[in-house]
Amino acid sequence: MGYSDHRYDVNLSILFTELPLLERPAAAAAAGFTAVELWWPWIETPTPPQAELDALKKALDDAGTQLVGLNFYAGQLPGPDRGALSVPGDESDRFRANIEVAADFAASVGCKALNALYGNRVDGADPQVQDALALENLVLAARAADRVGAILLVETLNKPESPLYPLVSAPAAIDVIDKVNAATGLGNAKFLLDIYHLSMNGEDVARVIDDYAEKTGHVQIADNPGRGAPGTGSLPLEQLLDGLKKAGYEGWVGLEYKAGDRPSAESFDWLPAGARAAR
């Protein structure tokens, strides 16, 4: 096996950001990719005008790109926030307002995975209260995802870059996923296994893959250190992806890395052109 034996999509919220949002799907297609993913593109609002949603759908369709992953509203991301669903008050309300909007948009473009970022711990809020609110909101999100035939993803981030985010180990995210599935009975909450974040936390990534491949619904990669393209750091990404495949994972591998000083289109030389289109 090797890099060519996996299904890739490009994260258009971290790559091709030198272009306006609506030009990024065509740029990904020009680089040979037919699948893409996105963080919630409207960081100021959970409920953008329908015309903006329609324009994004048209850009995806016109480029011939399939959206395979979408974040729910997550606050200022990129920025100081790491999600909204466990943050009491206005942010939790914004997340709830976004749930059906995001699910309906996913349905309109055939996207089958919705990622719900947990949110930071906040001063003055009891962590147990935050966790109870998070479970409540994740249950609502899981039901909405199920309504449109999608899975709900819960992600581990890394403590050095996200010190206030409570899910900074694979077991912490898996515990939340198990609670959501127990509460809904739907079984559609899955692990977003981000190899970069796990490695930044010092976890044994190969062990995480062996332990949790069956519960994994989406994978994201970047090299470490630097969060650059494969080959720019020291992670054995090819070997780890092969381990995922051997463990039974057949899903998407999202390219969620920084292109660095060069144009995004030049950051894919590690992946043969013939291996970029979805299959």
Q: State the Cα–Cα distance between residues 49 and 29, nearest whole angstrom.
A: 26
Q: What does the DSSP 8-state code read for residue 131?
A: H
Q: What is the 3-state secondary structure (H, E, C) of 76-100?
A: CCCCCCCECCCCCCHHHHHHHHHHH
CB 139 within 8 A of CB 132: no
Q: Which of 155, 203, 238, 266 is catalytic?
A: 155
CB 88 within 8 A of CB 130: yes
CB 194 within 8 A of CB 155: yes
Q: Which of 37, 91, 203, 256 is catalytic?
A: 256
Q: State the Cα–Cα distance between residues 260 and 254, nearest whole angstrom.
A: 17
- Tell me the two tokens of residue 211: 């332990």
Q: State the Cα–Cα distance between residues 182 and 276, nearest whole angstrom.
A: 37
256 is annotated as an active-site residue:
yes
The residues that are catalytic are: 155, 256
